[in-house]
Structures are given as C-alpha cells and as structure tokens.
Amino acid sequence: MKAFFSEEQLLHTPRQFMRLGRICAPTDLPSRAESLRGTLAARGIAVETPPDYGRSPLADVHSPDYLDYLENAHARWRALEMPGVEPGEEVLPNLSPYHNGRVEQPRRSPCPSPSVVAQTGYYLSDLSCPIGPHTWRSALRSTHSAVAAADHAAGGGGFAYALCRPSGHHAHRDRAGGFCYLNSSAAAASRLRQTRSRVAVLDVDAHHGDGTQQIFYLRPDVMTISVHADPAGYYPFYTGYAHERGHGAGEGCNLNLPLPHGSGNAAFLQALDQAMAALAAYAPEALVLALGFDTYKDDPISVLRLDMDAYRQIGARVAALGLPTVIVQEGGYMVQAIGPALDAFLQGLDPTGARRA
C-alpha cells in the first residue's frame, strides 16, 4: 500500500469560520495532516508526492468557470478598490444568490456578473470556505494526491491512501462548501473511470457527501453511497435524504443512509452492511472510500458516537470487497484522535501488514 501527499497541501491556513453568527477559530488545521502522516510513518507506509497534473484531471468534475474563479479569486479580491473599505485578507461572500438547488439540474450557467464580489456569492456556498493566498494550490494538490492514488490502485496496487487536505466531498461541480473547494473523491472516481467501466464512491464521513452526489447524480457509471448523520439537523441540511436515488440515466445509482443523531457503532455498521449489499448488487470494478473521522464520539463537530473499533470494522469490510480501492481522507477535526482512527482503519484493512510495501 502506498500513500500520497504534497507539502503544498499544508499551505492553506484558513483564519475564520462563521458558526451561529459568530466568527470562530477554523477547524481544518494543517496539524490534521501532520497527525495522519505520523500514523503512516509508524506503520511503515511510504508517502509519495503526487505529480503535478494541473487542472486536467478535474475536467470531468468541475466547471471551467468555477476553476477559473477559484484559481484567481484571491488576487482579484485583494486588488478590489472600494471607497472606504479595504478588502479582507480572505475571500468570503456577502451575497447568497437564489438557486433552486434541484439535484437533477447539475449545471448552472457561469455567473452572469464579472464582479469578484458577485462571483464569490455564486461560487462559495457558505462561510466555512475562505479563500486565502494558497487555498487554490493546496486544494489542487489535494486532488492530485487522490488522482495519483487512483493510478496506483488501478495499476494493480490494490489499496492506495490519499491524504487529502483540504477535504473535498462537499465541493459541487461549481460550488465550494463545508471546508471543501475541489472534490478529491470525485477526481479519484473520474480517474478510475478511465480504466474501469463502473466505479463506486462509498462515503463514511459524518456529513453527507453532497458534492460527490451532485457531480454524479445523472450518471449510471459511478454509484455514490453515503452513510451519515441525519441532515435534517446537520450540515449539509439540504441533501442527504433517503429518497434521493439518482435521476435520469443515474436513477438508482445514488444511495443515502442517514442515521439518527447519537447513533453508535452498531447502527453505523448496520447501515454500512446495507451499503455493502448495494455495492455487491452494483458490482463496481473499483472503489473510492471517502473516509472521515468526524463520526468519532469526541470530535468537536460530531453528532455520531463511533469509537475506534468502528474504524477497524470499516477497514475489514472494505478489504472484504477485494476491489482496487482509493481511500480519500475527508473530515475529522479532533487532531489527537484522527491519527489513531486512521491506524485502526488500516489495521482492519490489512491486519497482517502484508500489503504495506
């Protein structure tokens, strides 16, 4: 097993995060990646820097107008000249444009206004996604880690781990949200599709993988399954419900398994077994596991109650599928817990360490 990570993924250092009307300290800290790297080193798993693929692996995942916006927003924002107001150091929206949000309509037209203020409202869906000077580069390199891991898994490597930070699964085709800018899990799935006819994304983060669902919602060639806390009272609120099953040619290729808040290992693993049955029926040729640890009972934003044994069980179930698998790191914000959680997952995935090389 190999792991992929670029030092440039540490450059993104958000300064603020709006929660319940209060500016809070950010939770997506670079120290999250350090904790996960410590676990990989302790298990003897080699970490490679991914090649710089540029934007090309994202062509099937994000719209060009959105990528242009993300790449240039910070410089354009800082260059703004407004009488009496100096632009802040991070790009954040002060507009919320109307959009009907219908999942069966995956494409919006590009923002009709050339203003960076208007585009910031259009492309950033919430106040957890500030764009700093290095955000684009960190997010882009995070997707490169996922793409390199996909190539490794597809090339007969079995399992590959992408230490993605910032995370990606809330990023829609043309919208950032929930600490996510570019969708690494979707980029990995898209890359696997180059050599496999059917791919599945299984998302076990505490939050619904809304961006991944939206990107593939009309497609039968990528199944998306998400096990998560009931979105009625939890981010991302607007999607993640059981009735969302895909649309058009993608009908039946999306499965949401929302869990009551307070659910522990037993309920989570029961839902995971349902996910495994759906996967078996779909018979994918490769898997992307969107792996979050914000399901942990002591995570600062968790409403689920998983303990470390759950991650071991998730690893064992994924290994039992016997598929080329890209493990993409998503959330998990208790820095001292995510390293041990990854270790437990890897134990379950590969109890003998035989696939370590």
Residues identified as active-site: 170
Closest CB 228 distance from Zn ion, rounded Å: 8
Q: Is 28 near Zn ion (CB under 5 A)?
A: no
Closest CB 248 distance from Zn ion, rounded Å: 28
Which one, 193 or 207, has the nearer CB to Zn ion? Answer: 207
Closest CB 13 distance from Zn ion, rounded Å: 19
Nearest residue by C-beta to Zn ion? 331
Among 155, 63, 65, 41, which residue's Cα sits nearest to residue 116?
65
Distance CA 70, CA 235 (A): 23
Size of the site for Zn ion (CB under 5 A): 6
Among 263, 260, 255, 258, which residue's Cα sits nearest to residue 296?
263
Distance of CA 161 to the CA centre of its chain: 13
Which one, 148 or 259, has the nearer CB to Zn ion? Answer: 259
Which one, 166 or 284, has the nearer CB to Zn ion? Answer: 166
122 contacts 111 by C-beta, under 8 angstroms: yes
Q: Is 177 near Zn ion (CB under 5 A)?
A: no
Q: Is 294 near Zn ion (CB under 5 A)?
A: yes
Which stretches of 101-185 are assigned E, i.e. beta strand?
159-162
Q: In the window 53-92, what residues touch Zn ion (CB under 5 A)?
A: none
Q: Is 208 near Zn ion (CB under 5 A)?
A: no
| Per-residue x/- track, 301-340, Zn ion (CB under 5 A) | ------------------------------x---------
Q: From residue 174, how far is each of 69, 107, 147, 215 by CA, in Å? A: 10, 8, 19, 9
Which one, 60 or 294, has the nearer CB to Zn ion? Answer: 294
SS3 224: strand
User: Which contiguous run of DSSP H or E holds residue 77?
Assistant: helix 64-78
> Rg for the chain (alpha carbons), in Å?
19
Distance CA 115, CA 216 (A): 29
Contact region with Zn ion (CB under 5 A), list: 102-110, 114-122, 200-208, 306-314: 200-208
Give just the sign of the alpha carbon dihedral 179, 62, 87, 31.
positive
Distance CA 105, CA 101 (A): 8
Closest CB 214 distance from Zn ion, rounded Å: 16
Closest CB 167 distance from Zn ion, rounded Å: 7
Residues forming contacts to Zn ion in the complex (CB under 5 A) are: 205-207, 292, 294, 331
